[in-house]
Chains A and B, each alone.
Chain A
């Protein structure tokens, strides 16, 4: 148990819809990173939030957006869903400022786009 929770655990949407995924970080952590993991592949970095600001972004289009709240929890929003967005979405919390901070992952949200 890492103390990082994600909701929902599973979700089914249709192409063109919008989805919001949620993540509660571990106590004392101020940074949240989001990853997309397609079946059989390693996680791909989407973006990271630190103190409510985006702090780095991977190669994902603008329809992937996020928020971080004052309590450091976070949301990932995906607009205009495409079939290829079907994946496991992982969030990880960490404490920026620590040398080589360890990331603690939640169990993920599995999204299926039909």
Chain B
């Protein structure tokens, strides 16, 4: 299974962009990278996923390195409601998510 490395925590100011890094150097060529987040006292929620090229949706952007060994989740304008634990997760060939410890994002007003 592919392993991921993320910072334990990051801080950002409200209304500023946030770049959350993830290293996944052992990812296989066909594993997609998924990002989920978990707000306090809630179940995780899907944020975005991608394979090789950069992806955008209404919540965030995902920048994937050309060698696919790392990716960055970008929140363009963080709000207090974005304070959560963010998980970078390779999805294996059985469509099963393998989770690490994630990055706790702290947003300062």
Which residues of the partner chain B approach A45 to less than 8 Å between Cβ atoms? Answer: 96-99
| Cα of A43 to Cα of B96 in the assembled complex, Å | 12
Is the Cβ of A100 less than 8 Å from the Cβ of B99? no
A residues adjacent to B (C-beta < 8 A): 2, 4, 33, 35, 41-45, 48, 55-56, 90, 92, 94, 96, 100-108
In the complex, which of the residues B43, B87, B96 contacts A108, with contact meaning CB atoms closer than 8 Å?
B43
B residues adjacent to A (C-beta < 8 A): 32, 34, 36, 42-46, 49, 85, 87, 91, 94-102
Is the Cβ of B43 less than 8 Å from the Cβ of A100? no
Which residues of the partner chain B approach A56 to less than 8 Å between Cβ atoms? Answer: 94, 96
Number of A-B contacts (CB under 8 A): 51
Is the Cβ of B43 less than 8 Å from the Cβ of A42? no
Q: How far is the CB of B90 from chain A (nearest CB, A)?
A: 11
Q: How far is the CB of A53 from chain B (nearest CB, A)?
A: 13
A-B contact pairs, 8 of them (CB 8 A): A33-B96, A43-B44, A43-B99, A45-B99, A56-B96, A92-B44, A96-B95, A102-B46
| Cα of A95 to Cα of B43 in the assembled complex, Å | 18
Is the Cβ of A48 less than 8 Å from the Cβ of B43? no
Q: Given the interface contacts A100-B91, A103-B46, A107-B42, does A42 sit within 8 Å of B101 by beta carbon?
A: yes
Which residues of the partner chain A approach B99 to less than 8 Å between Cβ atoms? Answer: 35, 42-45
| Cα of A56 to Cα of B87 in the assembled complex, Å | 21
